[in-house]
Homo-oligomer: A and B are copies of this chain.
Amino acid sequence: MSFREYLAGQQQLIDRELDRLVPAESVPPETIHRAMRYSLFAGGKRVRPILCLEAGRAVAHDPRGIETAACSLEFVHTYSLIHDDLPALDNDDYRRGKLTSHKVFGEAMAILTGDALLTLAFETLAKMDVPDDRKARVIAELATAAGTVGGMIGGQVADLEGEGKPPNAELLESIHRAKTGALLRASVRMGAIYGGADERQLHAISRYGEHVGLAFQIVDDVLDVEQSSESLGKTAGKDAQQQKITFPAVYGLNESRRMAERERACAHESLSIFGARASRLRELADLIVQRTS
């Protein structure tokens, strides 16, 4: 099976599970379930859930039901996009080439839809069928990565407060480690914990997640400079316009690309203890660095 076929298969697995977990549009109050589904099924690549699946498979043979845990990451990711796009935050009208939630459903509903997806993430994990000790660790992992201290919300706040400040390498890395890095790291850690990883495996998977997380953000910043809005499916050039601290702003485009390449190599290195069981994780690291949108 080619990597492309593999990826399409995994996306379908996740999409089916998302569809199973989110209340149908016919369940009242219908509006919010429609709004949750609108953003969840708007063409997301399912990077975080697939990283979770593969981390689980690197430590155990096809851990049963891991796709449920994986979907909680897509819920949290999607909630963060909906809230980030709001007029009070980034004020974006388009995301993945479609109108953003508040443009379709209004601001009030977009706020509540984000809240609902975040809540559903934890409900999903609390109800999944896995030994209770692993369940509690997986929930703690997601909550910490999504939170204020070194987590996603903390990075978002630091990013907002960093707008207009002079580009600074240290601030840049701390923002991105939190804003996007923490959830990507949690994706693989949650998969590994779900699969029953030992300390050594969890350590290796965490390093992989950190390198992949940093690579992901560097490439995101580079694409925002290089690509048109059309190929990105969202407004390009927003970073410069909002005077965000980005990798190209601090290091220039060429050095940023070299950095992403180095992070990719380190991600591969981290996986050595897993041998062939981690080949999909290696391909995913390559995909993250080589993507064009």
Contact = CB atoms under 8 A, between A and B. Distances in A.
A31 interface: yes
- Give the interface SS of chain A, mostly helix, strand, loop or mixed: helix
Contact of A147 (B119, B142, B156): B119
Interface stretch (A22-30, A51-59, A216-224, A263-271): A22-30
Contacts of A88: 106-108, 111
Interface in A42-94: 79, 83, 86, 88-89
A177 B132 CA distance: 30
A125 B135 CA distance: 12
Contacts of A193: none
A115 B160 contact: no
A205 interface: no
A250 interface: no
A133 interface: yes
Contact of A109 (B31, B132, B157): B157
**Contact size class for A?**
35 or more
B108 A149 contact: no
Contacts of A158: 28-29
Given A126-B139, A132-B132, A157 B115 contact: no
Interface string A1-36: 000000000000000000000010001110111001
A29 B161 contact: yes
Contacts of A32: 148, 153-154, 157
Given A31-B157, A106-B88, A148-B32, A140 B123 contact: yes
B132 A136 contact: yes
A204 interface: no
Interface in A131-177: 132-133, 135-137, 139-140, 142-144, 146-149, 151, 153-154, 156-158, 160-161
A99 interface: no
Contact of A89 (B108, B123, B137): B108
Nearest to A133: B132
A119 B29 contact: no
A253 interface: no
A149 B23 contact: yes
A114 interface: yes
Given A109-B160, A119-B153, A132-B132, 17 more contacts: A28-B154, A29-B154, A31-B161, A88-B106, A88-B111, A109-B157, A114-B115, A115-B118, A116-B148, A118-B118, A120-B143, A122-B122, A122-B143, A123-B143, A126-B137, A126-B143, A135-B136
4 pairs of A and B residues whose beta carbons are closest in the complex:
A123-B143, A132-B132, A88-B107, A126-B140
